Amino acid sequence: MSSRRPDPLAQVSDFDIRLLRIFRSVVECGGFSAAETVLGIGRSAISQQMSDLEQRLGLRLCQRGRAGFSLTEEGREVYQSALQLLSALESFRTEVNGLHQHLRGELIIGLTDNLVTLPHMRITHALAQLKERGPDVQIQIRMIAPNEVEQGVLDGRLHVGVVPQASALSGLEYQPLYSERSLLYCAVGHPLFYADDKQLDDARIDAQDAIAPTFRLPAEIQAHYQALNCTASASDREGMAFLILTGRYIGYLPDHYASLWVQQGRLRALKPATRFYDLSLASVTRKGRRPHLVLESFLESLAATR
């Protein structure tokens, strides 16, 4: 008679959930040392609790040592399963809290980089109002590329996101928030930095090495990049700024984001009267989402700040 090995997790305890939350933080921070500040515990304690989780699961989740931190194949699968479990737990808690009309739980928001310099600060004001209405609400902000924001909202890792508005993806709802203007910039050290706009022809601009974004943009804005000699790319606006500031590339940046470098004399806009585009930024949520009192309160505050 063959004996069947018992399931490692026949029951999921509060202790297991706590270990999975720590595991999630370690993965998202990229290692034990980086997770110390986020978790508020020392590296040795984190290591011990990861060992406890591996023993509970009967799996090796990660490699750690001089070569650095990396997930095993089993670790990657456990991480994805942990995300689903923790998201389901949060949804349950939010729904139950909604019965009491008391704001508790968490709001996980994904943002395109460099929105904080927008003068309107609608997101900032909405977050302040949410915290005032629900002092116990835990807010997590993740600064990631626009494509990852949309995917995160689709698969439930994010409750809401803010992205440049391109063609709508199926399964998502978009609400316009901002319009920002982007100008074409070069930095000190670039051959065009001291050129006179009146004597600067478009052919000379279009011949310069330029940067293209890898995130989705409306077709009419993509045309601005197609006119340039794009020999480099970046997944976000900060990456584009890094390359422009080398003095070897030209590229588009939001004017509110570039303004400090312009004031410092490190950047200049090329032919700003003609070389610009206006981009709409929108909040994005998942269609058919479950009731989520914290999220709805944030969206209400966001709408009220217009």
Amino acid 185: pLDDT = 98
The mean pLDDT of 71-96, rounded to a whole number, is 85
Amino acid 178: pLDDT = 84
The mean pLDDT of 14-24, rounded to a whole number, is 88
Query: CB–CB of 305/291 below 8 Å?
Result: no
Amino acid 8: pLDDT = 62
Q: What is the largest CA-CA distance in the chain?
A: 91
* pLDDT, mean over the chain: 87
Evaluate if residue 221 carries a pLDDT over 50: yes
Query: CB–CB of 202/272 below 8 Å?
Result: no
pLDDT in tens, 270-304: 999 999 999 888 899 999 887 788 898 888 888 87
Handedness of CA 66, 70, 71, 73 (dihedral sign): negative
Amino acid 2: pLDDT = 46
pLDDT in tens, 205-217: 999 999 999 988 8
The mean pLDDT of 82-89, rounded to a whole number, is 87
The mean pLDDT of 74-88, rounded to a whole number, is 89
DSSP letter at 197 equals: G
pLDDT in tens, 142-201: 988 888 899 999 988 999 998 888 778 889 999 888 888 999 999 999 999 999 988 899
Query: CB–CB of 137/106 below 8 Å?
Result: yes
Evaluate if residue 306 carries a pLDDT over 70: no
Residue 187's DSSP bridge partners are 267
pLDDT in tens, 51-62: 998 898 888 998
The mean pLDDT of 37-58, rounded to a whole number, is 88
pLDDT in tens, 90-138: 877 776 665 555 677 889 999 887 777 676 778 888 889 988 888 889 9
Amino acid 179: pLDDT = 87
Amino acid 97: pLDDT = 62
Q: List, in order, residues 6 or more apart from 106 with CB less than 8 Å away.
A: 90, 137, 138, 139, 140, 294
Residue 130 and residue 90: Cα distance in Å, rounded?
18
Handedness of CA 69, 75, 77, 82 (dihedral sign): negative
Amino acid 1: pLDDT = 45
Q: List, in order, residues 6 or more apart from 215 with CB less than 8 Å away.
A: 145, 146, 147, 164, 235, 236
pLDDT in tens, 222-276: 999 999 999 999 988 899 999 999 999 999 999 999 999 999 999 999 999 999 9
The tally of CA atoms less than 13 A away on the side-chain side of residue 221 is 24
Q: Is the pTM of this model over 0.85?
A: no
Amino acid 10: pLDDT = 57
Reference 214, options 164, 284, 256, 176; nearest CA is: 164
Amino acid 9: pLDDT = 61
Evaluate if residue 218 carries a pLDDT over 50: yes
Q: Which two tokens stand for residue 233?
A: 């790319």
Higher-pLDDT residue of 287 and 38 is 287
